[in-house]
Amino acid sequence: MVNTDYFLKFVPSFLKLNPVIQLHDKHFEPFISSDEIDFAIQNMAKQMDDDFFDEIPVFIGVLNGSFKVISDLMKYYRGMCEVSFVKLASYEGTQSTNQVKQLIGLNEDLEGKTVVIVEDIVDTGNTVEELKAIFKEKKVKHLKIATLFFKPEAYKKDIKLDYVGIRIPDRFIVGFGLDYDGLGRNLPDVYQLAKENINTQMINIVLFGKPGAGKGTQADFLKEKYNLVHLSTGDIFRYNIKNDTDLGRLAKTYMDKGDLVPDAVTIQMLQSEVDKNPQAKGFLFDGFPRTIAQAEALDAFLSSKGQEVTATVALEADDEILVQRLLERGKTSGRPDDQDEEKIRNRYEEYNQKTAPLMDYYKKQNKFKPVDGIGQIAEVTERLSVVIDGLL
């Protein structure tokens, strides 16, 4: 069984959310749309279909938060099943002790049955730990843990989560069953506590460049001089596929069929890499975004972490010069795509068609910085330095 979490079309639907909402004394901003939630639940249900094809599991939702998760999960789960709900309580008066001691509402005989505990969110894992202890006494056949939202940064337990819908940063969120002092559970989308300030100390650069423009060489310079984490889409794909990660296997299913890997998978890979570097001074995004939808996705993802794209730097060069440069490179590199002029020109045509709208997108934000990419490596490096230093 593969435990994989996904995002669907991370941003176009995301942008349809109301900009800011107020619950009691606090403001919340958009985080995850109902479309993304629905897609994640569909994938959880599909995994469960595969796992329980020859048995009848008992799905037990943990109230109050899981009522919407269970409801939607049952829309997509195709097998026979039982459904029940429980509520958690403690033995110690009216104050929360963070120690779960008792389940209210569990009347079924679960001995010998497969039980799937369905949570809306898992953060520290304290509740998961107590639930496993409680259900162990019920002599269930198998106990599985499913959660729509998971905060890996906050998770403190060495307990496997069998089904994860969406991994999120350690943020306070409301909506889709989650509340703030009783409000917000009925919201179809999810919102996060609004951040007062964007972290302007981080430098996040999007690097554009046609094939042959020297983007790889200059990326090495930028990451070293400005202490940035270089996130190359190609490198990230190769890493995930080589190491047979869940996302790598998912991407490979598309690539093997000759299809483009969906934005949702690429965004998830990038998110994973960003989350691996919490102390980074900034990031250099190389090979992403390539479309407006991807640019919007990147903006939304960075915003969820209190960051933003600082600037996009484009190495500009005349196509005719680059064609000849690649043909020369092809004589020694052995790369077939550098030896066929027609293929090279097709790559440039595709680049121009896809990148032109992106340039307009970033120009509207006053973040587009063109740099002359023709000349000696040191000359181009100096031009880049002037642009980046002007952002600091």
As a whole number of angstroms, the distance between CA 205 and CA 226 comes to 11
Q: Which of 290, 345, 367, 383 is catalytic?
A: 290
Sheet holding 311-316, edge to edge: 229-232, 282-286, 203-209, 311-316, 368-372
335 included as an active-site residue: yes
Q: Rounded to 10 degrees, what is the CA torsion of 41, 32, 245, 221? A: 170
Quickly count: other Cβ atoms within 10 Å of residue 5's Cβ.
21
Q: Which of 225, 335, 343, 363 is catalytic?
A: 335
**H or E element, residue 34:** helix 34-51
The one-character DSSP state at 213 is: S
Contact assessment for residue 44 and residue 161, using Cβ atoms and an 8 Å cutoff: no
Q: Which of 167, 215, 223, 369 is catalytic?
A: 215
SS3 370: strand
290 included as an active-site residue: yes
249 included as an active-site residue: no
CA Rg value for the chain: 24
Q: Which of 138, 185, 329, 367 is catalytic?
A: 329
The token pair that represents 220 in the structure block = 């090495």
329 included as an active-site residue: yes
Q: Which long-range contacts (CB under 8 A, 24 or more apart) does 350-359 make?
A: 351/210, 351/211, 354/290, 354/291, 355/208, 355/290, 355/314, 357/291, 357/292, 358/208, 358/289, 358/290, 358/291, 358/292, 358/295, 358/312, 359/208, 359/312, 359/314
The token pair that represents 347 in the structure block = 């790559």
215 included as an active-site residue: yes
As a whole number of angstroms, the distance between CA 191 and CA 183 comes to 12
* Catalytic site positions: 215, 290, 329, 335, 347
